[in-house]
Structure 1
Amino acid sequence: MQDQTTRFERFRALHAREGAFVVGNAWDAGSARILTDIGFEALATTSAGYAFSTGRRDSFAALTREEILLNAAAIARATNLPVTADLEDGFGAAPETCAHTVTMACDLDLAGGSIEDATGDPGDPIHPFSLAVERIRAAAEAVRGRPFLLTARAENYLWGRPDLDDTIRRLQAFAEAGADVLFAPGLPDLDAIRTVCRSVDRPVNVVAGLSGPACSVADLAAAGVRRISVGGSFARAALGALARAGREVLHDGTFGYAAEAIPDAEVARLMSQERGGRRV
């Protein structure tokens, strides 16, 4: 079993090497074991995927901080890989609340986590610039010197504010405030992604597998991206497979889906491990 510091150092090194790496977004301990076994080098949680698994939609009101952190801790216990947590908006507008959230995440053996600048209020969806920066500054100060990589998210493009200049201004300020990784989900095309990467001095995360440009890992790496995540798309792919299997049985009366299922012996091997992952 690797300790938190070792996994943090591995995670930090992934961001420093040439090219881009992909984190697999797990929504529970079982999916974490599978993603670890097939060769991912790091994992991220997904609040969307976890919400779906509990029968709830992905929204600010869907999951509490305690639920998110318990789920993230279970994922971290299931793997030897570094795990970064989706900490949503920090679970409160105040900078000290964000600081407390990242401290709690760090205490749970996580190698990192993200804080976004969205408010959850459709009428006023993005925190004012100065408050958004202070929230990241407080979070960064709270984990300074600890094995935790802080990702700061600028959410303009997810909330109907397609302002690239403001997005870059926020990312630059988040870097100055102490963020280790920068993330602007929903950028519209490869040119915008390239512009963001050229405009900041921190590793940039881009989410793939959702809406937006259909770029390959190679495309994103060439644009300057260092980390690629997949959000809730793996969870939705799993739900899609379940829906297709169910429809086949109900509509066709056949069970062909079983040919694509992971063999029981393979599942038993993965789930019986005390802690998943290749030893390094």
Structure 2
Amino acid sequence: MSTGEPRAEVLRALHRGRPADRPLVLPGPWDAASARTFEEAGFPALATPSAGIAASLGYEDGATPAEEMFAAVARIVRAVSVPVTADLEGGYGLSAAELVERVRETGAVGVNLEDGEGAGGLKDPGAHAEWLAEVRAAAGPGLFVNARVDTYLREGVADPAGDAVARARLYAEAGADCVYPIMAPAADLPGLRAALGDLPVNALSLPDGPSFAELGRLGATRVTFGPGLLFRSLSGLADLAAEVRAQ
């Protein structure tokens, strides 16, 4: 499958005009087999999780070499016919042009790019917005850009919601199609939604959190899982392993 404007527009269109209680739900495949399973279940697009791919390859979250991450994304894209957006962490230190070219080579038509830096820091929002603008300029409309905002993940942020809104607005002006204030509490979603207007907002689904419908009513346009579906699958695999071991 090749990347390009038509397939990116399919992904972009999936974010538009959705009923409040029907956000776009994008499961996160970690390999080709899981990707095929999600496609066969009827999901119209997929969103690879960097942490899930890292775990499947035997790495800690954030430690996957760029070459292995791009190769894993390419295998997933080749396995399915639906659009795939890829979590590429902070971009692996690549220039905007280099990143876009590598994404094109995988066939993915979307990216998730975070503004966290190091073990607990945040990138300068202005500088990150400039880099996102360069990504948009290099990619044109043929790439759906989801800008992850990490203010809720970092200690010492006095007003994570306010900081998230300020960063999200900068990233939207730079050309981001969607923003992802990861780990934003459900109670903060209505305020984020109101402050960001029509800008699509990505929410993280947690096992003990609100339903998809409730996340949508609170303000989420789309819902993703991070590595959550892999971990649930591994729990089931552990049960199967114990059953086989007991025979």
Q: TM-score, normalised by structure 1?
A: 0.80
Match of 2:37 in 1: 34
Match of 1:158 in 2: 153
Matched residues in 2 for 1:207 and 1:56: separation? Answer: 22
Work out which of the residue numbers 227, 234, 253 in structure 1 matches 2:229.
Answer: 234
Native 8 Å contact 2:3 2:108 kept in 1: no
The answer to whether residue 198 in structure 2 is matched with residue 198 in structure 1 is no
Matched residues in 1 for 2:95 and 2:57: separation? Answer: 25
Native 8 Å contact 2:29 2:46 kept in 1: yes
Matched residues in 1 for 2:218 and 2:152: separation? Answer: 19
Deviations 1:103-161 (A, max 9, x none): 32134321110111111233xx101222122121221111124x211111111112223
Please list, as runs of the form range in 1=range in 2, the aligned pairs for 1:170-249 lying within 5 A after superposition. Answer: 170-188=167-185, 190-200=186-196, 201-209=198-206, 214-249=209-244
Q: Percent identity?
A: 33
SS of match in other structure, 1:85: strand
Match of 1:24 in 2: 27
Deviations 1:215-273 (A, max 9, x none): 111111112211111110111111111222223444xx24xxxxxxxxxxxxxxxxxxx
Q: CA deviation at 1:46?
A: 1.2
Q: AA paired with 1:183?
A: Y
Matched residues in 2 for 1:114 and 1:98: separation? Answer: 13
Work out which of the residue numbers 47, 51, 70 in structure 1 matches 2:50.
Answer: 47
RMSD: 1.9
Please list, as runs of the form range in 1=range in 2, the aligned pairs for 1:11-160 lying within 5 A after superposition. Answer: 11-19=11-19, 20-59=23-62, 62-92=63-93, 97-122=95-120, 125-145=121-141, 147-160=142-155
Unpaired stretches in structure 1, ≥5 consecutive residues: 255-280
Q: AA paired with 2:236?
A: A
SS of match in other structure, 2:183: coil
Q: AA paired with 1:82?
A: P
SS of match in other structure, 1:70: helix
Q: TM-score, normalised by structure 2?
A: 0.90
Q: CA deviation at 1:185?
A: 0.3
Q: CA deviation at 1:164?
A: 1.1
Higher Rg of the two aligned structures: 1
Q: CA deviation at 1:64?
A: 1.7
Matched residues in 1 for 2:153 and 2:99: separation? Answer: 23
Matched residues in 1 for 2:100 and 2:188: separation? Answer: 29
SS of match in other structure, 1:186: coil
Native 8 Å contact 2:205 2:225 kept in 1: yes
